[in-house]
Structure 1
Amino acid sequence: MTANALTSSVAPLDPARFERELDGKPVRLFTLRNASGMVVAITNYGAKIEQILVPDRAGRLDDVVLGYDNLEGAIGGSPSMGAFIGRYAGRLGHARFTLGDSEYLLGANNGQHCLHGGFRGSRMRVFDAVQRDESSVEMRYVFADGEEGFPGTLALSLVYRVLDSNELVLDYEATAQDKPGVASFTSHAFFNLNGESSGSALDHELMIAADHYLAMDAELVASGELLPVEKTLFDFRQPTVLKTRVGEAAAGAGAQTLDGYDSAYLIRRESPAGLALCAHVSAPQSGRVMEVWSTEPVMQFYTGLQPQMSLPGGPGKSGQVYFQQQGLCFEPQGYPNAPNCPAFPTALIQPGHSRAGSTVYRFSVLPG
């Protein structure tokens, strides 16, 4: 379907509503477009994805990510929404880890743990940004030695690209400058394939390409153990409608249920390198489909665990206050809490070496 054949009741976000100087740096909104009519808007505050317009089965464009239509909303709203997460994605237990003979104490911003890089990880930082062409933008941020307690200067380069095949590609590379350090990154967009104002996303059908999930303690900190998904509520190897597993509707049917998901999966791979399919999610109402592909070994799947709890901040782009379980997060990343789990592959980066990765969100529609 060509861009000219598409219709939309949703306008692209106004870049002027994101223009401001913050922390001595200019903040902007960068709008990416492809030849197929897809539109993606990203601000360099937290490298946050604020809008993704893609067609449904009838060729109607709608916005499929939760977010804000101005910088004040992005700053005051849900801190991870749409953000590129670093220096370390997920929870680092007790906000500390040891390298060699040195113990490093981190920002404990999630109870006694460090979540998503601490109080001011990359999700609260202004990236240097340059739009390279109509379909791509490059963003850079340098983590200072000691920032949020992490050792070493770490230079991060991040490129967002929109392909004509309706794919949003994230390519990133972080290079240690002066000291050994640790790093793990992810993208934290909240997706609703029926549109960001459509309410609960639990009617979506989900497949996760994983035979094992990561054991976590009561405070959702990874322990270093892998558990089989077979015969558990964490098994999404076959497409499953989320509302059959989550909440009161499922409980009314007499099934075992969860309050929601905040779970990490070890992605099944045919080869150790390159992109692997992490998840396939579809919304029968709109007909939209999204596949998540990544070079990362683990994917965190998040719905929120308290559907009656509103997300921080004011109204979103539609003027409605967002609630948990109205958006689904698919967060490819390194092993969570790896610096504290000897059984996991190392997250260490030596000076002069880099950690690179790619994640792709691929959009299409159901057949028929």
Structure 2
Amino acid sequence: MLDPARFAREIDGKPVRLFTLRNQRGMTVCVTNYGAKIEQVLVSDRAGHFDDVVLGYDSIEGVVGGAPSVGAFVGRYAGRVENARFTLGGIEHQLAANNGPHCLHGGLRGSRFQVFDAVQHDASSVEMRYVFAGGEEGFPGTLALRVLYSVTDTNELVLNYEAEALDAPTVANFTTHAFFNLEGAHSESALGHEVMIRASRYFEMTSELIATGRLLPVEGTPFDLRQPVALDTRVGKSPAEGGVAGYDDCFAIDRDAAEDGELALCARVSAPASGRVMEVWSSEPTMQFYTGMLAGEPLAGGPGKGGRRYVQQQSLCFEPQGYPNAPNIAAFPSALHLPGQARQGRTLYRFSTA
């Protein structure tokens, strides 16, 4: 169990803490209000043994010095905005470029680097708030964000979030960026996991991972994950073998008409050795799936929990969100937020065993 005392600091004049959420079945989730980051998730395997199934850090110094996306709630705009600019109302807005010429995950100082105001309501939930100032990272308009983390007695980690433009139109796109390994965070690879993603189409990307506006069929490609696939049968294989170096790809989730705008199953992942199973449900229309592209390549920043060095393909990210690069692609559903019109979203990770 993480020690809350090691997270009790002040950053940018604001108090930082670690919040521990528990249900009646022993599931425990630890979240810090620095970047609203998930640092620990303890769930049982098929034998009843509890283990940590996310990458994270065991002190606030580790979080600040670690890979910035690990565990974070990402905004003001998750994913990449092409050339770090877009036009809204006839005005071009130049954003902070932090991924070559592009803006990634909100820019140089997106929500991953901000201290949220936080209140723990009860043993199983904590509410976090952050207000993006007008002009912050180049985005127009003041935007108020509220995120509620909770755990349920059916072993779900639930994120309910709401954003409201306060004074001017703006754009926004949010996601949650936990790095999962259902064999336990001590496991050196996640490629033994079996993954199903409920998507018959994926987004065409440029070589710089910018959405072009085209959606392509997964049929006959390594991106067809509609039936469970052991990742080690695809990742690290040659194209001739139907393989890929890794996944960093966005999928359009298949939805029934009744699910439009409501919770829908996005993905299911299972770990054969531990028996742990995780389902990803969300109200968001797309989901980024990330394994990392370079097996064994260290993640940015310092070591993680217990001094371990985290590497690519050690964990898996399932990031429900809006359409990528939507401010620059008129054919995509709008990412526009108008004053007085709050936008809500919900994502949950449901744990079980098999």
Does TM-score exceed 0.5, indicating one fold?
A: yes
Deviation at 1:254?
A: 6.7
1:195 maps to which residue? 184
Comparing 33-42 with 309-318, greater Cα deviation is found at 309-318
Q: Does 1:266 align with 2:252?
A: yes
CA distance in 1, matches of 2:334, 2:27: 38
CA offsets per residue over residues 287-314 of structure 1, 9 Å max, x none? 0000000000000000001113101222
Partner of residue 131 from structure 1, selected from 96, 116, 120 = 120
CA distance in 2, matches of 1:63, 1:314: 19
1:118 maps to which residue? 107
Partner of residue 76 from structure 2, selected from 68, 87, 93 = 87
Q: Does 1:30 align with 2:16?
A: no
Q: Does 1:332 align with 2:350?
A: no
**How do residues 161-176 of structure 1 correspond to structure 2 at under 5 angstroms?**
161-176=150-165
2:45 maps to which residue? 56
Comparing 314-323 with 330-339, greater Cα deviation is found at 314-323
Partner of residue 168 from structure 2, selected from 159, 171, 179 = 179
SS of the counterpart of 1:73?
A: helix
User: Is residue 95–residue 108 contact of structure 1 (8 Å, CA) maintained in 2?
Assistant: yes
Alpha-carbon RMSD: 1.0
CA distance in 2, matches of 1:319, 1:100: 49
Deviation at 1:256?
A: 2.6
Partner of residue 289 from structure 2, selected from 295, 301, 312 = 301
Q: One-letter code of the match for 2:267? A: A
1:208 maps to which residue? 197
CA distance in 2, matches of 1:23, 1:153: 19
**How do residues 245-264 of structure 1 correspond to structure 2 at under 5 angstroms?**
245-247=234-236, 250-251=237-238, 255-264=241-250
1:159 maps to which residue? 148
Unaligned runs of 5+ in 2: none
Q: Does 1:284 align with 2:272?
A: yes
1:7 maps to which residue? none
Q: Does 1:275 align with 2:272?
A: no
CA distance in 1, matches of 2:69, 2:172: 17
User: Is residue 21–residue 123 contact of structure 2 (8 Å, CA) maintained in 1?
Assistant: yes
Q: Does 1:233 align with 2:222?
A: yes
SS of the counterpart of 2:62?
A: helix
TM-score by length of 1: 0.94
TM-score by length of 2: 0.98
CA distance in 2, matches of 1:108, 1:121: 11
CA distance in 2, matches of 1:35, 1:104: 48
1:77 maps to which residue? 66
Deviation at 1:221?
A: 0.5
User: Is residue 286–residue 320 contact of structure 2 (8 Å, CA) maintained in 1?
Assistant: yes
Identity of aligned residues (%): 67
2:57 maps to which residue? 68
User: Is residue 196–residue 318 contact of structure 1 (8 Å, CA) maintained in 2?
Assistant: no
SS of the counterpart of 2:5?
A: helix
CA distance in 2, matches of 1:230, 1:264: 15
Q: Does 1:244 align with 2:233?
A: yes
Q: One-letter code of the match for 2:189? A: S
Q: One-letter code of the match for 1:275? A: L
1:353 maps to which residue? 341
Q: One-letter code of the match for 1:100? A: G
CA offsets per residue over residues 104-157 of structure 1, 9 Å max, x none? 000100001000000010010000000000000000000000000000000001
Unaligned runs of 5+ in 1: 1-11
Q: One-letter code of the match for 2:255? A: R
User: Is residue 166–residue 340 contact of structure 2 (8 Å, CA) maintained in 1?
Assistant: yes
Number of residue pairs matched?
Answer: 352
CA distance in 2, matches of 1:279, 1:256: 21
CA offsets per residue over residues 297-343 of structure 1, 9 Å max, x none? 00000000111310122221132101000010000000010000111
Comparing 92-101 with 306-315, greater Cα deviation is found at 306-315
1:3 maps to which residue? none
2:92 maps to which residue? 103
CA distance in 1, matches of 2:317, 2:242: 23
